[in-house]
Amino acid sequence: MSWKDLYSEVKQRKMEALNKKEVVKAVEKHGKILAVEGRFEKPKKVIDHMYAAEHLTISPKDIMKYNLVNYDVVLIGCPGDKIPHSAYPKIREYVSLNGGWLITTDWAIKHIIETVFPGFIRWNGNRTSDAVVACQIIEPNHPFLEGVLSEIQQDKWHKSTAKNTKKSEFRWWLETKSFPIQILNHNAVHILISSWEIQKKWGESPVLCYFDYGNSGGRVIHLISHTHLQKGGAKGKYASALILTNILDEKVSTKMGLSKGPSKGYVSNWEQPQSQQQQWASVPQQSNYINPSPSESGLTGTSQIVEVDINNTNFSFANKCGYCGYDFGDYTGKIYMCQACGTKYHETCLNMQINEGTCKNCNRILLW
């Protein structure tokens, strides 16, 4: 399927099944995205087919000629090293003062993020091989990922993916020497998609993450690898197209004050795994939860975080992580649990749950 056909299908699905017709029409009329080409990122291949009022790709040396404020989203392609240093303040102000949204890819983490927006994320120093890895969706209800989980579970996409990829996953192409993403500020950076394969082989799990910057609604979004995932398979390309258009959708919706109803079509029309339903809909009642004493009534209790002994006969790798909903079968890192209710977490998932303050299940404040 060509990129043109793929983005046409994304638009059709959003208008017919996603309850986003109003948003799509608004983006077609008002949405503007500017892409800065990189030596390894060729954004023109994809953004030319996005539904938007304006989609323009320029060379790095021409960035000073354009008023970034005129664009809702600016995409800087990998590696970003040809962008003149004199443009750095302009890029920073676009985000911090003007509330612009910036997307960067792969090596731009080093050449743009670490220099222009230091202290949030950085390259961990490793370089991946040319590989296609399975990706896990951490925040399926986030606006950037709206509809991705249920859409990729359609038989149309699932049948065309690798046999070792779960129905709720998609595969992402890492080009030779992609830069793994290390989180520096866990309180500010939000991880939306991760990959245990990347973590196991190259030390870090984030695939797609973002952080807010400045006081005007500015946001920096970064993803490993590129937007044109030729080797990611149809399912990976479809997920990429949904994500990229979702970002522009959300920016335009926020700017124009559009109210968005729930996308019921995604959940009601397509099967959703039980683990995901339990994770995001309601917490199942379990008899081994510790109830607060009467003296604690009306107060938020606390719970100790303890490391799980995987050699304990009571532990099973089939257990589900309380944060992401995935089991521990292919995981090689540390596993922790809430001592009060026994909910278990991958180490990286626990760090993200701590940012929310309480245990996913029992709502007690987590303490080391």
Mean pLDDT across the stretch 4-28?
A: 88
Q: HSE-up of 236 (CA within 13 Å, CB side)?
A: 23
What does the alpha-carbon distance between residue 348 and residue 350 come to, in Å, rounded to a whole number? 5
Mean pLDDT across the stretch 180-203?
A: 94
End-to-end Cα, the chain, rounded Å: 50
Lowest mean pLDDT among 63-72, 92-101, 214-223, 232-241: 232-241
| pLDDT one-digit tens code per residue, 151-166 | 777 666 655 555 556 7
Mean pLDDT across the stretch 275-294?
A: 38
Q: Which of helix, strand or coil describes residue 216? A: coil
Q: With bands split at pLDDT 50, 70 and 90, how would you rate the model's confidence at 29?
A: very high
Mean pLDDT across the stretch 303-318?
A: 83
Predicted local confidence at residue 293, as pLDDT: 41
Q: With bands split at pLDDT 50, 70 and 90, how would you rate the model's confidence at 55?
A: very high
Q: Which of helix, strand or coil describes residue 284? A: coil
Residue boundaries of the structural domains of the chain: 3-269, 273-368
Count of C-beta atoms within a 10 Å radius of residue 305: 16
Is 160:233 a contact under the CB 8 Å cutoff?
A: yes
The one-letter code for the residue type at 257 is G
Buried b / exposed e across 325-360, counting CB within 10 Å, b at 16+?
Answer: bbbbeebeeebbbbbbbbbbbbebbbbbbbeeebbb
> Is domain 3-269 given the CATH code 1.20.1280.50 in the classification?
no
Length in residues, the chain: 368
Count of C-beta atoms within a 10 Å radius of residue 278: 13
Predicted local confidence at residue 52, as pLDDT: 95
Predicted local confidence at residue 158, as pLDDT: 58
pLDDT above 70 (res 298): no
Contacts of 145 (CB under 8 A, 6+ apart): 137, 139, 192, 193, 242, 243, 246
H/E element holding 136?
Answer: strand 131-137
Q: What percent of the chain has pLDDT over 70?
A: 82
Dihedral of alpha carbons 269, 274, 280, 282, sign: positive
Predicted local confidence at residue 283, as pLDDT: 34
Between strands 302-307 and 365-367, the pairing is parallel
pLDDT above 90 (res 240): no
User: Which of 145, 157, 139, 128 has its CA nearest to residue 234?
Assistant: 157
pLDDT above 80 (res 366): yes
